[in-house]
Amino acid sequence: MNILIWALAGAALGWLSFSYLGFSPGRGKIASLMIGGMSGIMGGKVIAPMLTGPPALPTDFTVGSLVVAMVVASAVLFAANMVYKRWKL
């Protein structure tokens, strides 16, 4: 369940960055959703356990891991926007 929440939070940030902030309009909305979702999973699953305390049970939801997932998704979307602007990839 946590992975789904992290992916949805990242995808929502991808949608916001495409629709409202105008990040990489040439790349497309689907690509922004995919980049946001995958980086949200990476942030919640890989990086959050290093930065936050572990949950009481492995299946417990923690707000700290959600925040880390959203920060990582934002950073990756920003980096993808910079790469797109520089090299049009």
Write out pLDDT tens, residues 15-55. 998 888 887 777 889 999 999 999 999 999 999 988 987 77
For residues 89 and 28, the answer to whether their CB atoms sit within 8 Å is no
CA triple 28-35-56, angle to 5 deg: 150
Within 8 A by CB and 6+ apart from 2, the residues are 44, 59, 61, 65
Q: What is the structure's pLDDT at 89?
A: 65
Q: What is the structure's pLDDT at 55?
A: 76
pTM of the model: 0.88
